[in-house]
Amino acid sequence: MSAAREELAEAGAVLAAEAARFASFGWMRGTSGNLSVVVSRDPLRLAVTASGRDKGELSASDVVLVDAFGMAVDGGKPSAEAALHARVAALTGAGAVVHVHTVASVAMGRRRPGGIVFRDLEMLKGIGRPAHGVAVTLPVIANSQDMTELGDRLEAARNPDVPAVVVAGHGLYAWGATPLQARHHTEIVEWLLELELTER
Ligand SMILES: [Zn+2]
């Protein structure tokens, strides 16, 4: 196996384990959602989970290498959403991106199309925000099937202090420096959304 292939398989193994975790939470039902990790910054290359696979049953080979436009570099079929992963990685400097279709993100995106505000919650520390006295806005952007348009909306709406965006009627994108940090950010933001949904 070439070094590049080996590196891609390693990334695939990490993403398969992360996907199995999120699938076990019911966040990636019916093959929905996708995960990525940056394998090269210049030129930008990401390993992204392959399209149409059950996210609870991925193997290390169920991964596609894509460029900054989300196009496959070396064969395979990436999700159309790979382009948004690449855009997030380019825009934020993130090393890993998580996209899940959770009930709480869709429900809260519907209730607060202008953004969801959190404050005075210990869990805010998990995304690097103060636990007290500061309002933290999670942006909500309108959905689109055009990934360039969706990326433009994300770029315009994103809060540099919050490593996540809700896409209305669709789901949640969250990111971090590593797959582990992206996982923790996803879990924290989903927790915040579930709390908000439960309270009002
Ligand atoms: Zn999606």
CA of 170 to the centre of ligand 1 (A): 6
- Produce one character per residue of 84-94: b if its CB has 16 or more CB atoms within 10 Å, e if not: bbbbbbbebeb
The helix (H) or strand (E) run that includes residue 98 is strand 96-100
CA of 104 to the centre of ligand 1 (A): 14
* Per-residue pLDDT at 198: 95
Question: In terms of DSSP bridges, do strands 136-138 and 116-118 run parallel, antiparallel, or are they unpaired?
Answer: antiparallel
CA distance 102 to 190: 8
- The C-alpha torsion from 144 through 51 and 97 to 181, rounded to 10°, is 140
CA of 199 to the centre of ligand 1 (A): 26
The DSSP output letter for 70 is S
- The C-alpha torsion from 63 through 66 and 71 to 77, rounded to 10°, is -10
CA of 81 to the centre of ligand 1 (A): 7
CA of 34 to the centre of ligand 1 (A): 7
CA of 31 to the centre of ligand 1 (A): 10
CA of 106 to the centre of ligand 1 (A): 11
Alpha-helix residue ranges (DSSP H) falling in the chain:
3-24, 82-92, 103-111, 147-157, 179-199
CATH number for the region 3-199 comes to 3.40.225.10
| Lookup result for tokens 């934020």 | 92
CA of 125 to the centre of ligand 1 (A): 27
Per-residue pLDDT 10s for the chain (200 aa) are 688 888 999 999 999 999 999 999 999 999 999 999 999 999 999 999 999 899 999 999 999 999 999 999 988 888 889 999 999 999 999 999 999 999 999 999 999 999 999 999 999 999 999 999 999 999 999 999 999 999 999 999 999 999 999 999 999 999 999 999 999 999 999 999 999 999 86
The DSSP output letter for 78 is B
For residue 38, CA distances in Å to 8, 152, 160, 174 come to 10, 20, 19, 14
CA of 183 to the centre of ligand 1 (A): 16
CA of 141 to the centre of ligand 1 (A): 13
CB atoms within 10 A of CB 3: 7
Q: Where are the domains of the chain?
A: 3-199
CA of 82 to the centre of ligand 1 (A): 10
